[in-house]
Structure 1
Amino acid sequence: MVSRKVVASLLVVYVAAMLAGQTEGYLAFFTRSDIERMQERERNKAQKKSLMLQKRSESGDVTELSAESVAEGEIVTLTAPGETSMRHSAGQLEKYQHVLKELLTEMLLDAQNVN
């Protein structure tokens, strides 16, 4: 016969596994220094990108947008093609399917209106 402690511990493990299967978050395994290094890299990339945009705007290829002009309510349009992607589990797709359908239909209608 199985002892009560074994049954209780198996029950706790089972409940923990079920709860872990229901969660939608993640746990990052980065130290504080790793995060700081990644943030520094992102800042360096942003600085390089802004320098490239500034050089292009000086040559007349791209006009630079200031944060003030965007905040005043001007419409910003992309001149280069953009790409978006999402990854969802089956449970997340079922949970958010109505919102995703609305977004897709809105995007399709906008694309048809442009053409």
Structure 2
Amino acid sequence: MVVLKKIRASTLMETLVATVLIVIVFLLASMILNTLFNNSIKNKTHDIETYLNELEYRYMNHKVELPFYGEFEKWQITIDRFVDKNQHYVEIEANNKELNKTITKQKFETNP
């Protein structure tokens, strides 16, 4: 008869320590991913930038009268004309008070 060899196994304490370490690593990873995901949602400004480009296009084709005040989702939008050192420009500004963000675009005019 063949004598079975003893196989060295880990103790219960080693198994518990390894399990706790794995759980801690997964918790840290999930917290980091959650933070990254929340930040990417808060910093998402693609929709408002697209709308501002559309308003700029409308202004260039004389479809928007100045001063313009409007809203887009939770953004307050203003378009106004300014003069600085004999240079005429139009400023398009979007304000979101919830996120405390402001997006500003300036378009210089050659013939006001």
What TM-score results when the alignment is normalised by the length of structure 2?
0.31
Decide which structure has greater strand share: 2
More helix by share: 1
Give the number of the structure whose alpha-carbon radius of gyration is greater: 2
User: Which one has more relative contact order, counting CA pairs under 8 Å at least 6 apart?
Assistant: 2
Normalised by the size of structure 1, how large is the TM-score?
A: 0.31
